[in-house]
Chains A and B, each alone.
Chain A
Amino acid sequence: MRKAFIKKLTELVEKDKDIQLLTGDLGFSVLDDFKMNFPNNYLNVGLMEANMIGMAAGMSLSGKKVFVYSIIPFITYRVLEQIRNDLCYQEVPVKIIGVGEGLSYGVAGATHHSIEDIAVMSALPNMIVISPGDPIEVEMAIEKSLNLDLPCYIRLAKSGDPVINNSDIDFEIGKGLILKKGRDVLIVSTGNMLEVGTKVVEKLEKINVSTELVSMHTIKPFDENLLISESKNKKLVVSIEEHVKTGGLASRVADVLISNEIRIKFLRVGLPDKFIHVVGEQEYLRDLYGLTPDKITDKILEKLEVKNKT
């Protein structure tokens, strides 16, 4: 996803010299070409993230289209008040690019995990929160972000993420994407769990459970209409995210279901409300917390059987 981001930004800066990329001393092997080819559109601010957000606000208020780049905890939690006051409060459309969503930096430990970022950023008025499902969605989100008149947070994984979507998708910020239609189960996925979502669909379809898959790449504003229409006549709605179950996708889905009086079984797949002290790579930790295709499929079947019994 990082490569998709810089590929798209490079395309855009060639046409639009107002684009600026600020980094908090990160981007080795990712930003190298951009740094070399567009020195007037690039600055390593250094390990000064709070300063970087303020500078980005100033540049944006001066007509620049500013992207700031760092690892998620350093560019969200660390600088929350700068984001709140300098960007959200004043409606300054800076684009915050965070890398390492969820458990991407597995063995690095909890300081580098990003499992509460959606909740934290969504809490801020005026903040648009985007968690793309694959490199195609990343490219589209970056391109469309230029038209926003509010700040946005775009949450990226690391590198080597698989392409899931076709390249000709009709992508709009704030509109979920239906990747596959289905009758029985609706799976709503955000971020890098999209690949896992496709595998769950394959497994369920094999045993004749007709399953629909939605990539809910924008968490805020949330595509309420899509959820209302696609949950109709389903037996079960499932939210999957590499994020704590509180305050992220699951909470948004629950909000929409309850406030629209939609009575339906609902399964939340995500992480518990705790820091992870166990050391492990992303795949290991996903397995530990039940975020694998097998474990999710089992949970879905369990939930469906309960319904069948009643």
Chain B
Amino acid sequence: MELYEISRSIRKKLIMMHYKSRTSHIGSALSIVDILVVLYFRILSVNPQKPSWEKRDRFILSKGHAASALYCVLAEKGFFEKKLLDTYCVNGGKLSEHPDRLNVPGIEVSTGSLGHGLSIGVGMALAAKRDKKNHKIFILMSDGECEEGSVWEAVSTAGRLNLNNLVVIIDYNKLQAYDRTDDIQSIKSVKEKFRNSGWDVREIEGHEFSSIEKGLKIPIAENPTVVVANTIKGKGIKEMEGKMEWHYKSPKKENLSDFLKELNSDEKSFHKKTD
């Protein structure tokens, strides 16, 4: 299957999952779908049959509130059966709004509170170095998340230790829960701070597969890498794109057919630059 087809089917699934569970954060999930698809189908060395395979690359979704997108990608990749997705946020189920590593295979770290993933990733990267292992650690953070002080402690340490097996992706969708991200802390200053701590800073278009893939392959020298992905919150559904309220709202029954139709009809224009 082409990447855009995977992305499209995941977006459709997300519409249904958030409609049924009436949960928040669909905008946050839609903004990272393409990144996750490229990661799991082009970049990460993982084995769905052996989720604990020692040599696997590690992926941490530090913006845990977008777990629905990760669940979809893990199911698509074969970590668990797709029918499990229908239990998302269902009473008695396994798939919580924020991911729980003890509940489903493929989740490396339980997250949900922002600013935790990077430090854990730094620890994993350091352990890999000490064990002379070659796997890489990928961490996906939100742009707002970079306001957390703990992030900068981890950034500093990763730079100090030259952890070139560490790749951070920032989902720069410009909107956090209650403000425009650049109004609280500009992305320009974020990039400068990473650079000043000894990181390689890259930029990609977060909805163009070739740009994502190029940005995430890391034949680099000695530094950890941060990839700022230019994305759109709610990407794929015009009604949601770039709107803060879709951090909270979930699709209503009366909008379902329109949303799904929009995703169907958009296949040509959506990722045209990518394939």
- Contacts from A to B (Cβ < 8 Å): 23, 25-29, 31, 44, 46-51, 73-74, 78, 107-112, 277-281, 284
Interface of A is mostly: loop
Complex: A88 Cα to B149 Cα, angstroms: 22
CB distance from A115 to the nearest CB of B (A): 15
Are A284 and B92 in contact (CB-based, < 8 A)?
yes
8 further interface pairs, Cβ-Cβ under 8 Å (given A47-B148, A108-B96, A279-B91):
A25-B179, A26-B178, A28-B245, A74-B113, A110-B110, A112-B97, A279-B93, A281-B91
B113 in complex: contacting residue of A44, A51, A111, A281, CB < 8 Å: A111
0/1 string, B247-272, CB within 8 A of A gives 1:
11000000000000000000000000
Complex: A85 Cα to B198 Cα, angstroms: 33
In the assembled complex, 8 residue pairs joining A and B whose CB atoms fall closer than 8 Å, in A order, are A23-B178, A26-B178, A47-B144, A50-B149, A109-B97, A109-B112, A112-B98, A280-B92
Look across to chain B and name the residue whose beta carbon is closest to the beta carbon of A281: B91
Residues in chain A near residue B102, CB distance under 8 A: 277
Look across to chain B and name the residue whose beta carbon is closest to the beta carbon of A111: B112
CB distance from B187 to the nearest CB of A (A): 14
0/1 string, B75-108, CB within 8 A of A gives 1:
0000000000001011111111111101100000
CB distance from B89 to the nearest CB of A (A): 4
Complex: A284 Cα to B91 Cα, angstroms: 7
Residues in chain B near residue A107, CB distance under 8 A: 21, 23, 89, 96-97
Residues in chain B near residue A110, CB distance under 8 A: 96, 100, 110, 112
Confirm or deny: B205 has a beta carbon within 8 angstroms of a beta carbon on chain A.
no
Confirm or deny: B64 has a beta carbon within 8 angstroms of a beta carbon on chain A.
yes
Given A73-B113, A109-B98, A277-B103, answer yes or no on A29-B248 (Cβ-Cβ < 8 Å): yes
CB distance from B103 to the nearest CB of A (A): 6
CB distance from B154 to the nearest CB of A (A): 14
CB distance from A38 to the nearest CB of B (A): 16
Q: Lowest 10 A-B CB distances belong to which pairs? A: A111-B112, A109-B96, A46-B184, A284-B91, A47-B147, A107-B89, A279-B93, A46-B147, A280-B91, A109-B98
